[in-house]
Structure 1
Amino acid sequence: MATRSLSRPAGNGPSMWLWLGIALAVVLLDQFAKVLIVRGFAIGENRTVTSFFDVVRLENTGMAWSLLANAGGWQRWFFIVLALAASGFMIYLLARNRAQKLFSFALAMVMGGAVGNVLDRITRGAVVDFISLHWHSAYTFPAFNLADSAITLGAICIVVDELRRVRKG
Structure 2
Amino acid sequence: MRTVFWVAVIIFLSDQATKYYVVHMLSLDRVLAINVWDPYFNLRMAWNYGINFGLLSLDSAEQREMMRWVLIGVALTIAAAVLWWIYREPGSLWHRIAAGFLVGGALGNVVDRVLYGAVADFINMSCCGVQNPYAFNIADIAVFIGAFGLVVLPHNEKAA
Class of the TM-score when normalised by the shorter of the 2 chains: 0.7 to 0.9
Q: Which amino acid aligns with 1:108?
A: G
Match of 1:112 in 2: 104
Match of 1:30 in 2: 15
Deviation at 1:143, TM superposition (A): 0.5
Task: Output the TM-score relative to the length of structure 1.
Answer: 0.81
Deviation at 1:158, TM superposition (A): 2.0
Residue 44 of structure 1 contacts residue 56 of structure 1 at CA under 8 Å; is this kept in 2?
Answer: no
Larger radius of gyration: 1
Partner Cα separation in structure 2 for residue 149 and residue 43 of structure 1: 24
- The worse-fitting range, judged by mean Cα deviation, of 77-86 and 138-147 is 138-147
Partner Cα separation in structure 1 for residue 72 and residue 31 of structure 2: 24
Q: Which amino acid aligns with 2:89?
A: N
Partner Cα separation in structure 1 for residue 3 and residue 151 of structure 2: 21
Whether 2:11 is the aligned partner of 1:19: answer no
Q: Which amino acid aligns with 1:57?
A: M
Q: Which amino acid aligns with 1:120?
A: D
Whether 2:83 is the aligned partner of 1:95: answer no
The answer for unaligned runs of 5 or more in structure 2 is none
Whether 2:35 is the aligned partner of 1:48: answer yes
Residue 113 of structure 1 contacts residue 150 of structure 1 at CA under 8 Å; is this kept in 2?
Answer: yes
Aligned residues: 150
Residue 47 of structure 1 contacts residue 55 of structure 1 at CA under 8 Å; is this kept in 2?
Answer: yes
CA RMSD after TM alignment:
1.9
Relative contact order, CA 8 A, sep 6+: which one is greater?
2
Task: Output the TM-score relative to the length of structure 2.
Answer: 0.85
Deviation at 1:149, TM superposition (A): 0.6
Look up the SS of the partner of 1:140 in the other structure.
Answer: coil
Match of 1:7 in 2: none
Q: Which amino acid aligns with 1:22?
A: V
Whether 2:136 is the aligned partner of 1:151: answer no
Deviation at 1:53, TM superposition (A): 1.2
Deviation at 1:80, TM superposition (A): 0.3
% identity of equivalent residues:
29
Q: Which amino acid aligns with 1:70?
A: L
Q: Which of 49, 57, 67 is matched with 2:45 structurally?
A: 57
Q: Which amino acid aligns with 1:128?
A: A
